[in-house]
Structure 1
């Protein structure tokens, strides 16, 4: 039996880079910072490149963005959690990717095991409105958050914990993540990997569907 294992940030929910663009539209003072947002911005983002090279963690990258945006808005020492709330908890903004929600629903309908392996869900978002809006998390078979376990992807132990908890051989688990290092770690752990490209996220869900033997989304 195949199983689906998902990252959250950038995969199930839109990426911080996408949400930073929206913040730049709302706040003119932030536009220069928002022009540097990983692969999605019109300006180079050296800190993103450092993260991809392993010189910064994702938490360190977003701490830098929070500091920059905070200075632009006159909020010195702005905590990352408050920055993330500003990005993701605006009224009327739907942060869940429709293609992700459709895939999760079809996986559940097919009776396939479903797990989540995330590094930073609680660290970034706590138990606030975003978490409350991710109702599917209450119905997954496995939820592993490095915020609590202290073991972050691409540490091999993170994947081993997910494999053990799902009770499915690693080679039958389809893992979707947007970070190249996390994908490489999963590949070394024997999982079937699908890397989500932030420039074309729906393609990753179509590929995951194919790997799982599910019909294409309508």
Structure 2
């Protein structure tokens, strides 16, 4: 049977897993595979592994329990390999790399921030501040302009939105990165102009959270900042 791998910790980590179940139905039993310096938390992998709510919750519960007792390299949901020996071989082969990463994550947690601006508010701002956009819009409203004007206005607005969102992302990052040990950006989706994870030291969490709240107040009601954390440091493994 293949093996499901949850996370990697130092062998000195308490690895207190009592009362937790692994993925699968019925739930699998958690165990550890050890090398000299590292330990991987694993279980038997179910034949059909899908991101169902119960399995996602089981995976996350393991990370949170381990994170409460020490530093963890959390693996993303769904990582499997052939058997315990394959896990042990990787722990030995990449011991230096994993140990260095554990040291980099020590005493830290991940916070993930997504940021968006209300579309109507941004459009109003563009029309107020861009003479060209305002002129095109006025001509379209008057009905005296050429049929190409709506397309021209759309292209101009799209360029303005992209430029302004890049500037806003820089403003947000500059306000918060000084409170983090590392940052890791991801592709923003939907109306978001920013999706970024921060690796924050526990001793710095209050300052980081206060800075995020101050930034939200400064930006105002037209902005939506959604901060999740503390999380296992998935983005920094």
TM-score norm. by structure 2 comes to 0.27
**Higher share of residues assigned strand:** 2
Greater Cα radius of gyration, structure 1 or 2: 2
